[in-house]
């Protein structure tokens, strides 16, 4: 088994699953089977990739056999492999959940193929080592997400989708323009080669291009002041789609920022990373304040995504501090990566719980909910643990993620930003307690039309919905209580990111530009 | 969509359609080394069928293409994905171009290759996707 | 040539942003189309405009057959970007068509129920 094939599988498997699933679009049963088989294959491939990357170091794969910087190269370093693993876990759990929630009306309009396509797009964006290819994967992901967003075709979905499509398209076009300028400056598109070339380019344009990337990825990530598409749209689609979006999509933007601002744009960190730092601080506060004003289950959760993105930006922005000790820099990046992983797990889980609550009581409005703790204590427990984890209470995963970022902030003497982070943590707890008090703790009105639903025992489909929630809950508990090996992994990943020469060396840009056509198997071309 | 009343358009379309489809195949096969290729050929073919849709109506168009656009899209995507696999089996990286030039009676040497398979996949995907959109819009007009 | 193209690109971007900020949803889509064209022309200009022959290299050689030759990469990028923009914009057209059918107005100011804290129906 060649090692480089492992890098290919997480992209190829969902792509194939999407194709087969479209061919069998008439049979919902076949689509469900392919959904489960395809995502378990993706999960297995992503675990294998992480193990191999941990053991062998950075793995690369040259598409079509063109050596870099000519061809497209897929690169799996620890950050990429970890993120792909999250795609695997999210894909698998959300598809299991969909078995119970995606009705025929979604299945007939290509629910499963679009899910697979989304997984392929996200995995491709995590693995590619070519900046233009990153744009292409972003578009694959966006087209799939546009279509998933309007499945069902209700009015709020349409309104949300118009904003989502417009702002994301604008972001893509800014990214495309930035890529064009990058090519003009460096004459290459391979990220490792760009990083190498930018070390020699001394032009104010470098910072201009850096800002364009920051805006483009900032829109995708949902950072202040570019997040307005997110609260308008994330609470509108079917709940499994919301959960997947909440878990994965904004994190692709965060990943791209981590990649580009550790590998390529490290010339002027005091300028660029300071902007990231303060954008992060304001992002977390605006996000959490926005959520405090809401009284709808999914909207509170979706506006909270923004506030969580703030912590990730802050972790990356800490590199701006001029007298940051090296260990603190490693801790900041490791904390940021740990935060992304923790947030993907917990956020998806909370959305899945909101779906179960909706199934029972038929509403997302907090005022219409209640009595769940009394009648369904197990469901209340399934909400309680990830909610506390999101708020950052020990010993759950959120505590360690926040602890690492905040400690790195203190060591970098960024007291004000740390204060922002602590206040945000407190307000997060307030929002979670608000959901808890209204939906779970308070008694349900006696004349509530669906009260009987609560007193009945769970049916089989509800247990199908519980399974992925329990799996993700185990993930967050394990990430918290048994966090050391995971934290070591993110520290190793931070070490890779902060020493870009490893990445550049692994991609292996040829010093002497050799003739690529000679390397083709016999008979290539005419 | 309102059925077109133009006799000229309907008669001309009957003759133009095969010509356009032939041209799209020509573009598909000359691609890779000369201007052309799966995407533009797929657009030409989809354009031909869209013309038929304007001249006739949705039901007749669905009858004409026989396959559902979904099927075309799925098969195309599948072909494009597996076009990269033969080189893997021979130990080359994914998507490496492999060429096979068998001799056929009457035709002489014919160049077959994995890029051709990929292009055929793109061709079907583009036809499927464009037709799905066009038919959806036309049905919404009804 | 480059300064002229810079003005063209700038003009296209300005027009695109103006159209996107209009209230009509149709004009929004026109703005997005202009934006994608502006981005493509920006790539074209930024990559350096050269008069040159097609960059064909004879089998086994290293240098192009005719020098100076054009840089093929920006052309490939633009081609890919056009294809992607075509797909996404085709989707956007279907989307706004359905949005128009469901919401019944061609006015973005009327499409703000998801931003309000009021109850959704």
Rounded to the nearest angstrom, the gap between the alpha carbon of residue B66 and the centroid of all alpha carbons in its chain is 14
Report domain extents, chain C.
Answer: 2-51+74-104
Would the pLDDT of C31 be above 90?
A: yes
What is the model's pLDDT at position B116? Answer: 87
What is the model's pLDDT at position B69? Answer: 87
Across all residues in chain C, what is the average pLDDT?
Answer: 84
Which residues are CB-contacts of C119 (< 8 A; sequence separation ≥ 6)?
A296, A365
Cα separation, B102 vs B109, whole angstroms: 6
What is the model's pLDDT at position A167? Answer: 92
Chain B: give the shortest CA distance to residue C70, in Å.
Answer: 16
Rounded to the nearest angstrom, the gap between the alpha carbon of residue A96 and the centroid of all alpha carbons in its chain is 19
Chain A: give the shortest CA distance to residue C8, in Å.
Answer: 14
Q: Which chain C residues are within 8 Å of B130, Cβ to Cβ?
A: 90
Question: Are B129 and C101 in contact (CB < 8 Å)?
Answer: no
Q: How many domains are contained in chain B?
A: 1
Give the domain C2-51+74-104 fold: Helix Hairpins (1.10.287)
Q: Are C94 and B134 in contact (CB under 8 A)?
A: no
Q: Which chain A residues are within 8 Å of C42, Cβ to Cβ?
A: 176-177, 180-181
Q: Are A166 and C32 in contact (CB under 8 A)?
A: yes
For residue range C57-100, what is the model confidence (pLDDT) as tens digits? 777 777 777 777 778 888 889 989 998 998 888 888 888 888 88
In a domain, B1, yes or no: no
Percent of chain C with pLDDT over 90: 29
Chain A: give the shortest CA distance to residue C79, in Å.
Answer: 12
SS3 A78: helix
Structural domain for B17, as ranges: 7-141
Chain B: give the shortest CA distance to residue C7, in Å.
Answer: 30
Question: Are C46 and A181 in contact (CB < 8 Å)?
Answer: yes
Query: Chains touching chain A at 3 or more Cβ pairs under 8 angstroms?
Result: B, C
What is the model's pLDDT at position B46? Answer: 93
What is the model's pLDDT at position C117? Answer: 61
For residue A102, give the nearest of A158, A29, A164, A43 by alpha carbon. Answer: A29
For residue range B47-99, what is the model confidence (pLDDT) as tens digits? 999 999 888 888 888 888 888 888 899 999 999 988 888 888 887 878 888 88
**HEC letters along A375-401:** HCHHHHHHHHHHHHHHHCCCCCHHHHH
A63 reaches B (C-beta below 8 A): yes
In a domain, B2, yes or no: no
SS3 C99: helix
Q: Which two tokens stand for residue A64?
A: 């079509």
Q: Which of A4, A5, A20 sits opposite B78 (nearest CB)?
A: A20
What is the model's pLDDT at position A510? Answer: 65
In a domain, B113, yes or no: yes
For residue A387, give the nearest of A442, A438, A430 by alpha carbon. Answer: A430
Question: Are B70 and A22 in contact (CB < 8 Å)?
Answer: yes
What is the model's pLDDT at position A515? Answer: 43
A521 reaches B (C-beta below 8 A): yes
A349 reaches B (C-beta below 8 A): no
Bridge partners of A124? none
Question: Are C114 and A159 in contact (CB < 8 Å)?
Answer: yes
Q: Which of A15, A61, A521 sits opposite B81 (nearest CB)?
A: A15
Cα separation, A310 vs A227, whole angstroms: 11
Report domain extents, chain A.
Answer: 268-497
**pLDDT band per the 50, 70, 90 thresholds, residue B3:** low
Question: Are B133 and C94 in contact (CB < 8 Å)?
Answer: yes
In a domain, B79, yes or no: yes
What is the model's pLDDT at position B6? Answer: 82
Cα separation, A301 vs A355, whole angstroms: 12
ipTM for this prediction: 0.92
For residue A476, give the nearest of A281, A279, A343, A298 by alpha carbon. Answer: A343
Residues of chain A with pLDDT below 70 are 1, 510-526
Q: Which chain A residues are within 8 Å of B88, Cβ to Cβ?
A: 5
Question: For residues A244-277, b (16+ Cβ closer than 10 Å) or e, as one string?
Answer: bbbbbbbbbbbbbbbbbbbbbbbeebeebbbbbb
Cα separation, C59 vs C75, whole angstroms: 22
Size of interface A-B (CB pairs under 8 A): 68
Query: Chains touching chain B at 3 or more Cβ pairs under 8 angstroms?
Result: A, C
Please report, for residues A6, A20, B23, B31, the alpha-carbon distance to residue B116 in angstroms, rounded to integers and kept in the order given: 26, 21, 17, 8
């Amino acid at each position: 088994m060649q090692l480089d094939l492992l890098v290919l599988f997480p992209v190829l498997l969902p792509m194939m699953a999407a194709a087969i699933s479209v061919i069998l679009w008439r049979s919902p049963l076949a689509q469900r089977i392919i959904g489960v088989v395809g995502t378990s294959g993706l999960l297995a491939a992503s675990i294998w990739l992480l193990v191999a990357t941990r053991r062998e170091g950075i793995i690369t794969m040259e598409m079509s056999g063109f050596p870099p910087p000519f061809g497209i190269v897929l690169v799996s370093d620890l950050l990429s492999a970890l993120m792909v693993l999250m795609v695997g876990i999210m894909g698998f759990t959300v598809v299991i959940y969909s078995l119970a929630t995606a009705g025929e009306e979604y299945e007939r309009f290509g629910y499963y193929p679009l899910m697979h396509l989304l997984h392929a797009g996200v995995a491709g964006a995590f693995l590619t080592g070519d900046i233009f290819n990153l744009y292409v994967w972003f578009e694959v992901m966006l087209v799939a997400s546009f279509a998933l967003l309007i499945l069902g075709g209700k009015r709020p979905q349409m309104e949300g989708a118009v904003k989502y499509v417009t702002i994301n398209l604008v972001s893509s076009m800014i990214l495309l323009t930035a890529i064009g300028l990058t090519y003009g400056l460096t004459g290459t598109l391979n990220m490792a080669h760009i990083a190498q070339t930018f070390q020699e380019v001394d032009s104010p344009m470098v910072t201009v291009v850096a800002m364009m990337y920051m805006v483009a990825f900032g829109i995708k990530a949902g950072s202040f002041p570019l997040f307005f598409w997110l609260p308008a749209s994330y609470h509108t689609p079917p709940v499994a789609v919301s959960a997947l979006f909440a878990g994965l999509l904004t994190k692709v933007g965060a990943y791209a920022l981590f990649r580009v601002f550790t590998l390529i744009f490290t010339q002027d960190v005091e300028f660029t990373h300071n902007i990231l730092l303060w954008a992060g601080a304001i992002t977390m506060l605006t996000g959490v304040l926005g959520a405090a004003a809401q009284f709808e289950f999914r909207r509170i959760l979706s506006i909270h995504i923004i506030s969580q993105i703030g912590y990730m930006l802050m972790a990356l922005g800490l590199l701006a501090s001029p007298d940051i000790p090296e260990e603190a820099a490693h801790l900041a990046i490791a904390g940021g990566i740990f935060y992304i992983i923790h947030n993907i797990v917990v956020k998806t889980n909370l959305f899945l719980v909101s779906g179960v609550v909706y199934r029972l009581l038929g509403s997302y409005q907090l005022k219409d909910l209640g009595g769940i703790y009394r009648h369904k204590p197990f469901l209340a427990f399934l909400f309680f643990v990830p909610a506390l984890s999101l708020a950052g209470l020990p010993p759950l995963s959120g505590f360690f993620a926040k602890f690492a970022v905040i400690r790195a902030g203190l060591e970098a003497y960024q007291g004000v930003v740390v204060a922002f982070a602590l206040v945000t943590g407190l307000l997060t707890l307030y929002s979670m307690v608000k959901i808890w008090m209204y939906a779970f703790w308070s008694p349900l009105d006696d004349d509530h039309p669906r009260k009987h639903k609560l007193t009945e025992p769970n049916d089989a489909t509800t247990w199908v919905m519980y399974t992925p929630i329990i799996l993700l809950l185990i993930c967050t508990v394990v990430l918290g209580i048994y966090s050391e090996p995971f934290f070591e992994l993110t520290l190793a990943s931070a070490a890779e990111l902060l020493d870009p020469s490893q990445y550049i060396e692994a991609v292996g840009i040829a010093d002497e530009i050799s003739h690529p056509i000679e390397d083709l198997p016999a008979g290539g071309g005419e | 969509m309102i059925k077109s009343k133009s006799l000229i358009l309907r008669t001309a379309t009957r003759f133009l359609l095969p010509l356009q489809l032939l041209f799209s195949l020509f573009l598909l096969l000359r691609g890779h080394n000369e201007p052309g290729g799966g995407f533009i050929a797929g657009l030409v073919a989809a354009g031909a069928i869209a013309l038929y849709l304007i001249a006739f109506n949705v039901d007749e168009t669905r009858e004409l293409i026989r396959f559902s656009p979904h099927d075309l899209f799925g098969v195309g995507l599948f072909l494009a994905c597996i076009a990269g696999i033969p080189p893997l089996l021979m130990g080359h990286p994914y998507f490496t171009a492999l060429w096979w030039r068998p001799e056929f009676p009457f035709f002489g040497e014919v160049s077959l290759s994995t890029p051709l398979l990929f292009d055929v996949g793109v061709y079907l995907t583009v036809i499927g996707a464009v037709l799905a959109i066009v038919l959806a819009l036309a049905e919404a007009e009804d | 040539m480059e300064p002229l193209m810079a003005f063209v690109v700038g003009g296209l971007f300005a027009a695109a942003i103006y159209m996107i900020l209009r209230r009509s949803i149709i004009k929004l889509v026109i703005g997005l189309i202009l934006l994608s064209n502006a981005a493509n022309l920006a790539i074209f200009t930024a990559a350096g405009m050269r008069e040159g022959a097609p960059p064909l290299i004879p089998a086994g050689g290293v240098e192009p057959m005719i020098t100076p030759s054009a840089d093929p990469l920006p052309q490939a990028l633009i081609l890919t970007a056009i294809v992607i923009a075509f797909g996404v914009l085709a989707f956007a057209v279907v989307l706004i068509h359905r949005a128009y059918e469901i919401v019944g107005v061609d006015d973005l100011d009327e499409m703000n129920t998801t931003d309000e804290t009021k109850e959704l129906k």
